Amino acid sequence: MDYKKIEKKWQQKWEDTKLYSFDKNDLDNKKYIMEMFSYPSGANLHIGHWYNYGLSDTYARFSRMQGHNVFHPMGFDAFGLPAENYAIKTGIHPQDSTLKNIETMETQLKAMGATFDWDYEVKTCMPDYYKWTQWMFLKLFEKGLAYRKEAPVNWCNNCNTVLANEQVFDGCCERCDTEVERKSLTQWFFKITEYAEELLQDLDKLDWPSKTKMMQKNWIGKSVGGKVKFSIVDGDDFEVFTTRADTLHGCSYVVFAPEHPMINDFVTDDQKAEVEAYIKMASKATEIDRLSTTREKTGAFTGAYAINPINGRKVPIWISDYVLYTYGTGAVMAVPAHDERDFEFAQKYDLPIERVIEAKNEDEDDTLPYVGYGKLVNSEEFSGLPVEDGKKAILSKLNEMESGNFNTNYRLRDWLISRQRYWGTPIPIIHCEDCGTVPVPESDLPVLLPYDVEFNPDGTSPLAKHEEFSNAPCPKCGKMGKREADTMDTFLCSSWYFLRYADNKNTEAPFDKAIIDKMLPVDTYIGGAEHACMHLLYSRFFVKALRDMGYLNFDEPFMRLIHQGTILGPDGERMSKSRGNVVSPDSYVEKYGSDVFRMYLAFGFSYIEGGPWNDNGIKSIHKFLDRIGRLVDKGLDYTEESTTIGAKEKDIDYKLNYAIEKISHDLENFQFNTAVARLMELVNALYKYTDNNFNKEYFMGVIENLVKLLAPFAPHISEELWDKIGNEYSVFNASFPICDKSKMVQDTIVMILQINGKVRGKFEVDANISKEDVEKLVLEDANLNKHFKDLTVRKMIVVPGRIVNVVAN
Ligand code: ANZ
Ligand code: ZN
């Protein structure tokens, strides 16, 4: 078969007949299947695209053939840094390169033969889309969920720009390798922390990989602890956050994060120089570095002392970057005997290490630092209490003393959404001298992103230099103000695109509530695991916030989540240009066509796991498809007289239904490789069947089912074969075979005979035979009882349908 010709032909027909159009009038029967949309890069589709999109398309086709009204849209995550960096390098405007890349990718995705309904496409860089991203911002702003504050950000002194956390590698700028500094700038934030508890609780509702749920859980990082109030000798009070109030008697010093604004108030003149030098040095480390447990602890003594509220003891105040300013209260009570970081720090700076917890039972090793949950010692009246009771007792004593209280803390931070970049959605805000931060009225949206902008990075937001954009009248008082020049993090564009898909042409609203309440949540979402704590969390936040504002009626965006694995280079390493191990799909597709390539990806890897690339199996898939083609011909060309239906057909019935059952199960679970293996077994059995004369009518019935089973994997070839056997267009309007269980009961089964646990023979019995009859048969049948004729039978154990074990001596 000329696969490439077949592909062109059917792709054309699918397009002409709008085969994959979603039926808007049948929303009750919808099934929303989507993949994470694509970033429009200039290169051709890589193996990852084929793997992600090709195989989820197999799933979408299967669902469609099962009778679902499948909604399978595609779009482009089109704003962002790569296009801007490419522009800085080449001078090609990001808009021009992006739109061109989108066009190329659309063509390529169509050539893959995927069932996307392009009528629902979204492109995040188009005004008809980002108008509504701006609308989202305004709604969050109105609700108090978007706010502006000064915050430390990653700053590159060479590129003169803020960098996202993901752009910082080992503390250095990804572009120029300059050491990144922390700098305080006024930034926009979304208050995702307001939803921390619900984001945590609702994970239980989701059919997601447990590892991903665990990652979100840890990222949200709930811990229940208390705040304890200390006072500074001759100074103000401050609070520390602790989950181990029971260890308060062992606090031998306290530590402030270097960014803590109080430090200035209490640092002594003697220590000022050292403290300032340390603060400067610490500002270079990223939060990720600071959280590292292996990094050597550093710090400086402030010269000041604090009073431990539980016993009035005077303890020194240090600063160190192992304490984060943004977590808890930004200050900790250090208990070196029972905390590893404190222990390390105390050893280095020779601070007292005093045990206040000891193991409850003697077998437990409690050498210091002991972080276990034993009982309190050296803790005045609290000594002897188990840790949990000690915590409560100490906190309630402090409460009486008004020095402490219970409190829940989350590691999750508010989401920093502003970027000092050009190629993104403008933030719809005008700064007015008199009125302050004024939102652009909804009727003035979109705030268009101007084209003629100088976007070479020089430390200021590119949009600020565009006079026409920048100067705008205040919507409140009319006085000239300045437009917000920062753009939005592109993760904002992708936090709601699955909502827009459902109603992408709406010009009045981002979407119609009635429509999306029916079409959402997404039933199955397929994409990479690397998005666990960003996109997948942000989208959940958006849905919850929109729900609370009354724009939709569900709690979660993605009910089921599948992560495809990664295809690695042949060397087992991640494919990358610099390693030179990138395998391009192009030559394979050129040589074998899209069906063979897709089916090979299905067969050669476990979808969820991926693995190193090899093309060993691709030829055999090619042969396999040819073989199916010949099998169909064998049936069509058969001119001998048909045999009568009998045992052979019964056997094929069994194998066909077995294949149907397994393949359906495997497809539902994204286990494509085993599904293809079942298909191969079936084809082998059918070849055997046609070795001798057969029943043509019966055989063509089986072939029809075979083609349907093949269709999700090799859509073009199946459509061609479907047509060839004289069926009405299209195989994708036909229903996927359903397993007929009655055909799967075999009349006879083979049982194994064991004597004292050793296999001695096999025998065939009626499938429905009773235990008693099996025993009788074994005792009476000469062929069977000969194995134990010289022994006395003591016992007979029958495992129905499988084994008889005769115990004899
Ligand atoms: C005293 C103590 C004694 C602590 C002990 C632990 C063990 P989780 O569970 O992750 O929330 N901590 C508090 N604020 C911090 C900050 N801003 N930066 C770094 N560490 C901070 O961790 C809570 C514990 O982390 C708190 O309990 C505090 O140390 C520390 F034997 O207080 B603990
Ligand atoms: Zn004003």
Which runs of E-coded beta strand occur in 2-120?
Answer: 30-35, 69-71, 75-76
578 confidence band (pLDDT: 50, 70, 90): confident
What is the 473 CA–ligand 2 centroid distance (Å)? 8
- Mean pLDDT is lowest, of 185-194, 285-294, 423-432, for 285-294
Give the pLDDT confidence score for residue 166 in this predicted structure. Answer: 59
Would residue 800 be called left, alpha or beta, if left means φ above 0 and alpha means ψ between -120 and 50 degrees? beta
Of 319, 131, 142, 309, the closest CA to residue 237 belongs to 309
Q: pLDDT tens, 383-440?
A: 999 998 898 888 888 877 666 566 778 888 889 899 888 999 999 999 999 999 999 9
CA 226 to ligand 1 centroid distance, Å: 10
Probe target for ligand 1 pocket from 217, 252, 332, with the most ligand atoms within 8 Å of CB: 332
Ligand 2 center to residue 298 CA distance, Å?
48
User: Given pLDDT bands bounded at 50, 70 and 90, which one contains residue 608?
Assistant: very high
Q: How far apart are CA 756 and CA 807, in angstroms?
A: 5
Residue 171: φ, ψ to 5°: 75, 5
Give pLDDT, residue 182: 83
Contact 139/494 with Cβ under 8 angstroms? Answer: no
Q: What is the pLDDT of residues 487-524, one digit of tens each?
A: 999 999 999 999 999 999 999 999 999 999 999 999 99
DSSP symbols for 664-696? HHHHHTT-HHHHHHHHHHHHHHHHHHTTS---H
Highest average pLDDT, of 403-407, 568-572, 763-767, comes from: 568-572
Q: What pairs with residue 606 in β-bridges?
A: 610
Q: Which ligand is nearest to the CA of 478?
A: 2
pLDDT score, position 748: 80
Chain centroid to Cα 470, Å, comes to: 38
- Which of 224, 230, 243 is the pocket-test mutation for ligand 1 (most atoms within 8 Å of CB)? 243
Compute φ and ψ for 12, nearest 5 degrees.
Answer: -60, -45
Residue 472 dihedral angles phi and psi, to the nearest 5°? -150, 145
Q: Which two tokens stand for residue 117?
A: 């309904």
Residue indicated by tokens 């390539």: 597
Instruction: Give the Cα separation of 552 and 541 in Å (integer).
Output: 13
pLDDT in tens, 150-185: 888 888 887 777 776 657 777 888 777 888 888 888
Residue 346 binned pLDDT confidence (cut-offs 50, 70, 90): very high
pLDDT class for 461, splitting at 50, 70, 90? confident
Percent of the chain with pLDDT over 70: 98
In sequence order, the 6+-apart residues with CB closer than 8 A to the CB of 565 are: 605, 606, 607, 608, 609, 610, 611
Q: Tell me how far the alpha carbon of residue 251 lies from the centroid of ligand 1, in angstroms.
A: 12
Query: Environment class of residue 716 by beta-carbon count within 10 Å: exposed (0-12), middle (13-18) or buried (19+)?
Result: buried
Measured in Å, residue 327 CA sits from the centre of ligand 1 at 9
Is residue 257 pLDDT above 70, yes or no? yes
| Atom number, ligand 1, closest to the C-alpha of residue 326 | 17
* Residue 365 confidence (pLDDT): 87
Q: Which atom of ligand 1 is nearest to the CA of 335?
A: 3
* Residue 259: strand, helix, or coil: coil
Q: Residue 425 contacts by C-beta under 8 Å, 6 or more apart in sequence?
A: 79, 124, 130, 133, 134, 449, 487, 488, 492, 493
367 CA → ligand 1 middle, Å: 20
Distance CA 630, CA 35 (A): 35
**Quick one: pLDDT at residue 406?**
66
* Ligand 1, atom 11: closest residue by C-alpha: 223
pLDDT in tens, 636-677: 999 999 999 988 999 999 999 999 999 999 999 999 999 999
Task: Please check the confidence at residue 571 and state whether its pLDDT lies above 80.
Answer: yes
Token pair, residue 386, equals 């188990």
724/293: higher pLDDT: 724
For residues 317 and 306, the answer to whether their CB atoms sit within 8 Å is: yes
CA-CA-CA-CA torsion sign (321, 324, 326, 329): negative
* Percentage of residues in the chain having pLDDT higher than 90: 73
- For residue 239, give the ligand nearest its CA: 1
Distance of CA 306 from the midpoint of ligand 1 (Å): 18
Ligand having the closest approach to the CA of 431: 2
Of 425, 456, 446, nearest in space to 79 by CA: 425
Mutating to test ligand 1, I would choose from 339, 342, 356 the residue with most ligand atoms within 8 A of its C-beta, which is 339
Q: Given this model, what pLDDT does residue 331 score? A: 97
Does 195 score more than 80 pLDDT?
Answer: yes
Is the pLDDT confidence value at 606 over 80? yes
For strand 172-173 and strand 404-410, is the pairing parallel, antiparallel, or unpaired? Answer: unpaired
Q: Which residues of 619-637 are buried (b: 16+ CB within 10 A; e: fewer)?
A: eebbebbebbbebbebbee
Are 22 and 39 in contact by the 8 Å Cβ rule? The answer is: no
Q: Which of 227, 244, 263, 318 gets mutated to test ligand 1 (max ligand atoms within 8 A of its CB)?
A: 244
CB distance 736 to 667 below 8 Å: no
User: Atom 22 of ligand 1 has which residue's CA nearest to it?
Assistant: 243
Position in ligand 1 atom list of the atom nearest CA 257: 17
β-strands 331-334, 253-256: how paired? antiparallel
Region 696-703: mean pLDDT is: 97
Instruction: Provide the pLDDT for residue 403.
Output: 61
Q: How far is the CA of 784 from the centre of ligand 2 (A)?
A: 100
Ligand with smallest separation from the Cα of 481 = 2
Report which residue type is found at 105.
M
Taking the centre of ligand 2 as the mean of its atom positions, its distance from the CA of residue 146, in whole angstroms, is: 20
Strand pairing partners for 240? 228
What is residue 18's predicted lDDT score, i.e. its pLDDT? 93
d(CA 319, ligand 1 centre) in Å: 15
Distance CA 38, CA 46 (A): 12
Residue 736's pLDDT is: 98
Cα of 340 from ligand 1 centre, angstroms: 10
First to last CA, the chain: 65
- 744-757: average pLDDT: 87
Q: What is the atom index within ligand 1 of the atom nearest the CA of 409?
A: 11
Ligand nearest to the CA of 373: 1
Q: What is the pLDDT of residue 479?
A: 96
**Do 167 and 489 form a contact (C-beta atoms < 8 A)?**
no
Q: What is the pLDDT of residue 44?
A: 80
Q: What is the pLDDT of residues 533-560, one digit of tens each?
A: 899 999 999 999 999 999 999 999 999 9
Q: If you measure from the C-alpha of residue 332 to the centroid of ligand 1, how many angstroms do you get, rounded to a whole number?
A: 6
CA angle 389, 392, 394 (to 5 degrees): 105
For ligand 1, atom 27, name the residue with the nearest CA: 242
Ligand number with the minimum distance to the CA of 435: 2
pLDDT score at 288? 66
| Dihedral sign (CA 728, 732, 738, 744) | positive
The CA angle 768-773-776, to the nearest 5 degrees, is 155
Counting from 1 in the atom list of ligand 1, the atom nearest the Cα of 357 is: 31
pLDDT for position 758: 92
Average pLDDT over residues 314-319: 98
Q: Which residues line ligand 1 (CB under 6 A)?
A: 223, 225, 241-244, 247, 257, 323-324, 327-328, 330, 332-333, 335, 338-339, 409
**pLDDT for residue 113 is more than 90:** no
pLDDT of residue 423: 94
As a whole number, the mean pLDDT across the chain is 92
Residue 67 and residue 177: Cα distance in Å, rounded? 54
Q: Whose CA is closest to atom 12 on ligand 1?
A: 332
| Structure tokens, 615 | 């093309």
In sign, the C-alpha dihedral spanning 128, 129, 132, 134 is negative
Assess contact for 805 and 797: CB atoms under 8 A: yes
Ligand minimally distant from the alpha carbon of residue 482: 2
φ, ψ dihedrals at 318, nearest 5°:
-110, 165
Q: What size, in residues, is the chain?
A: 809
330 CA closest ligand 1 atom index: 17
| Locus of tokens 């889309």 | 129
Work out the average pLDDT over 234-239: 94
3-class secondary-structure state, position 598: helix
Q: Best substitution site from 229, 230, 241 to test ligand 1's pocket, by max atoms within 8 Å of Cβ?
A: 241
Question: How far does the centroid of ligand 2 lie from the alpha carbon of residue 432, in Å?
Answer: 5
Of all protein residues, the one whose alpha carbon is nearest to atom 33 of ligand 1 is: 242
Ligand 1 center–CA 356 separation, angstroms: 16
Ligand approaching nearest to the C-alpha of 224: 1
Task: Tell me, in angstroms, the distance from the centre of ligand 2 to residue 69's CA.
Answer: 51
180-206 burial, b for 16+ CB within 10 Å, e for fewer?
bbbeeeebbbbbbbbbbeebbeebeeb
Q: Tell me the best of 222, 240, 242 to mutate to test the pocket of ligand 1, counting ligand atoms within 8 Å of each CB and taking the most.
A: 242
For residue 629, give both structure tokens.
């083609």
